[in-house]
Homo-oligomer: A and B are copies of this chain.
Amino acid sequence: MIEYNHPAVQYYQDVSEQCIHYLSIDGVIFGFHENQLKVLLLRWKGTDEWSLPGGFIRKAESVDVAAQRVVQERTGLDELYLQQFHVFGEANRYDQADTWKRTKLPVQDVNWSERTISIGYYALVDYSKVVPTPDFLTDECRWWPVDEVPGLLFDHNHIITVALQSLRKQLDDQPLNQLLPNTFTVPELQRLYETILGYPLDARNFYKKLIGSGTLERLSERRAGTPHKAPYLYRFKSVGV
C-alpha cells in the first residue's frame, strides 16, 4: 500500500535517515502590511488545507541553524530575526490520522515518527522584502492577516496563538524595526503596536512614551503624498554607534 514513488514518501525517508526523529521546527513568520500583522502560510498540494512552514533538524545541525534554514527557504531572506518561543511537547498534539488524511499525502504509511515535538520560532521580517516560496509539498505560500487565519493543519492555530502571546509579552525587548521599512511615521508605528496587541492605543500617550524612550530619530523629511499636516518620518536610532 506504500506509494514508494510518491515524492513525499522519498522526502520522509530521507528525513528519517538524515534528521533527528521526534523533533521538528515550526516557523511563525510575522510581517506588517496595510496596517495589519500577517503570517506566512503554505497551502498543501491539491488541497485547501494550510499550515505553517516547518522542517526538521539534521543530525549534526544546531537547532537555531535549522530554524534559520526553514524560514530562509520560505522567504528568500538571508538575515533573519528569529526568536525561539516555545516547545510543543504534548504526547498527542493533534489527531495524526485525520491530519494526514487532510494533506492527501500517503505518508501515514511511512512509519517516520509516532509523534513530533515541535520547537516554535517566530520571525520578524520586512514584508516588502519577502518572496513567499512554497516547498515541494505545497502549491502556494502567502500572507494571511493573523486575525483571519483559517483552520490549519496539525496544531498550528495553537502555535500561532502562543507565538503572538510571546511576542506581546516580549514587545519591549523585540526589534520591531525588523517589521518596518527604514522610515515610518509615528501613526504607522502605532498601528504596528495596535495590530500586535489587538487593541487601540491612545495616540498622545503613545507619542509621549515613544519620544521618551529615546529610541527614535526624527528626520527632516515628511511623508510624501499627504497634502495637509504631513507627518514627519522617523527611523530607529542605530544601537552601539
* Interface residues of A, Cβ cutoff 8 Å to B: 20-23, 57, 59-66, 84, 86-87, 89-91, 114-115, 117, 119, 169-170, 173
Q: Report 17 cross-chain contacts, Cβ distance below 8 Å, ordered by A residue.
A: A20-B21, A20-B22, A20-B117, A21-B22, A22-B22, A57-B117, A59-B114, A60-B114, A62-B91, A63-B87, A63-B117, A64-B89, A65-B91, A66-B89, A84-B87, A89-B119, A169-B170
Choose among A115, A117, A119 the residue with the greatest number of B CB atoms under 10 Å from its CB: A117
Given A23-B23, A57-B117; 11 other pairs, CB 8 A cutoff: A20-B117, A21-B22, A60-B91, A60-B115, A62-B91, A63-B90, A65-B91, A84-B86, A87-B87, A87-B119, A89-B119
Decide if A62 touches B90 in the complex (CB within 8 Å). yes
Question: Given A86-B84, A169-B173, A173-B169, are A61 and B91 neighbors across the interface (CB < 8 Å)?
Answer: yes
Closest CB pairs A-B (n = 9): A63-B89, A62-B91, A20-B22, A62-B90, A60-B91, A87-B119, A62-B89, A63-B87, A84-B87
Which chain B positions have C-beta within 8 A of A20? 21-22, 117
CA distance A119 to B115 in the complex (A): 17
Task: Give the chain B neighbours of A169 by CB distance below 8 A.
Answer: 170, 173
Q: How far is the CA of A23 from the CA of B116 in the complex (A)?
A: 12
Shortest CB distance A163–B (Å): 14
Chain B residues near A21 (CB, 8 Å)? Answer: 20-22
Q: How far is the CA of A57 from the CA of B86 in the complex (A)?
A: 17
Closest chain B residue to A61, Cβ basis: B91
Query: In the complex, what's the smallest C-beta–C-beta distance from A66 to chain B, in angstroms?
Result: 8
Tell me the minimal C-beta distance from A59 to chain B in angstroms: 7
Chain B residues in 8 Å Cβ range of A63: 87, 89-90, 117
Most buried by B among A59, A65, A91: A91
